[in-house]
């Protein structure tokens, strides 16, 4: 198949890049053969390997513009993320750290993310996430970095540490363990959008200890299982976008944002005109109330 170098196109009006990747229209959708199971049958991964990286067969970017990988969470095709144990997800978060260490040596941005659910375009069912190394810093990350730099230069310290402290143990909090906190900040765009912060100020996965990665694994499972327990399971499986924001700059504070797309049983939230065309978001729900629903769902799940 033709693989043209995929360019970054500069938008001079918004002053940001767009990835132009026309060849991705041809990517397989819903084919029977699983390319990740093929890694096992072909012997590409050894029998004792449970998590691994698979090069993205339809990468939106190629070196030196960027690189794309698929992160395989389990050998078992039918397993759902929520069926993995904390130890198994810990293997995934440690693989994320290895991946960060490798890719960050070549690119300023390492995007680790997951698109979960057919409603938002997941095409492979084998449990997996993705990762991109990118030669530019995407707009959202750049905006967050600008805030971090402004606050640092004004002597205000880390804005993420401030948010974390303000929301600690309050009505916006959803879950907490020794090393991580999860909450719905007042400014979330989606009703169940959840942000996960490490308690320690740490810029990226390379600087994280094993116990912090284990607590992250436990919290990811807690939150996603909580989503699926909302309305007695009537919204399961909750479609979501999950992304890890991190940078090499030590002033940055690594965190995870999960945009859960469901808003009520059978109903999804879509970015409409004011959101898609102006980037002015409307949240039709109360984050405090949704945080409480999610806390209750998590508690019920663990009872
Ligand atoms: Zn498979
Ligand atoms: Zn911080
Ligand atoms: Zn962020």
Q: In angstroms, what is the span from residue 50 Cα to ligand 1's centroid?
A: 12
Q: Give the pTM.
A: 0.95
Burial tier of 50 (Cβ tally within 10 Å: 0-12, 13-18, 19+): middle
Cα of 19 to ligand 3 centre, how many Å? 20
Distance 44 CA to ligand 1 centre (A): 14
Cis before residue 64, ω within 30 degrees of 0?
Answer: yes
Ligand with the closest atom to the CA of 157: 2
State in Å: Cα 56 to ligand 1 middle.
15
CA of 302 to the centre of ligand 3 (A): 28
- Report the separation in Å between the CA atom of 203 and the middle of ligand 2, taken as the mean of its atom positions: 8
| 26 Cα–ligand 2 center, Å | 42
CA–CA separation, 69 and 53 (whole Å): 6
* 170-206: pLDDT as tens digits: 999 999 999 999 999 999 999 999 999 999 999 999 9
Taking Cα atoms as reference points, which of 34, 68, 66, 40 lies closest to residue 52?
40
- 238-288 pLDDT tens trace: 999 999 999 999 999 999 999 999 999 999 998 999 999 999 999 999 999
Ligand 2 centroid to Cα of residue 239, in Å, is 29
| Domains of the chain, first to last | 8-24+33-302 (3.30.428.10)
- State the angle between helix axes of 86-103 and 210-229 in degrees (0 to 180), rounded to the nearest 10: 120
pLDDT at 4 over 80: no
Closest-approaching ligand to the CA atom of 189: 3
């Amino acid at each position: 198949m033709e693989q043209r170098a995929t360019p970054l196109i500069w938008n001079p009006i918004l002053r940001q890049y767009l990835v132009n990747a026309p060849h991705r229209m041809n990517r397989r959708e819903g084919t029977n053969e699983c390319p990740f199971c093929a890694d096992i049958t072909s012997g590409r991964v050894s029998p004792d390997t449970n998590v691994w990286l698979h090069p993205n067969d339809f990468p939106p970017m190629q070196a030196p513009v960027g690189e794309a990988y698929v992160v395989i969470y389990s050998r078992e095709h039918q397993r759902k993320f929520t069926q993995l144990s904390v130890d198994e997800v810990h293997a995934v978060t440690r693989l994320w750290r290895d991946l960060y260490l490798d890719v960050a040596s070549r690119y300023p941005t390492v995007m680790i993310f997951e698109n979960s659910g057919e409603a938002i375009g997941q095409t492979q069912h084998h449990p997996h996430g993705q990762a991109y190394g990118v030669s530019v810093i995407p707009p959202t990350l750049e905006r967050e970095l600008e805030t971090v730099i402004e606050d640092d230069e004004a002597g205000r310290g880390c804005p993420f540490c401030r948010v974390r402290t303000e929301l600690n143990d309050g009505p916006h909090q959803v879950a907490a363990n020794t090393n991580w906190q999860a909450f719905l900040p007042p400014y979330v765009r989606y009703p169940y959008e959840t942000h996960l912060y490490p308690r320690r100020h740490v810029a990226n996965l390379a600087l994280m200890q094993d116990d912090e990665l284990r607590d992250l694994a436990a919290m990811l499972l807690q939150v996603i299982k909580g989503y699926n327990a909302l309305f007695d399971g009537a919204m399961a499986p909750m479609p979501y976008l999950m992304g890890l924001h991190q940078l090499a700059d030590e002033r940055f504070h690594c965190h995870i944002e999960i945009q859960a797309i469901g808003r009520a049983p059978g109903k999804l939230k879509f970015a409409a005109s004011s959101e898609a065309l102006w980037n002015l978001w409307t949240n039709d729900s109360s984050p405090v109330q949704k945080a409480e629903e999610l806390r209750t769902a998590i508690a019920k799940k663990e009872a």
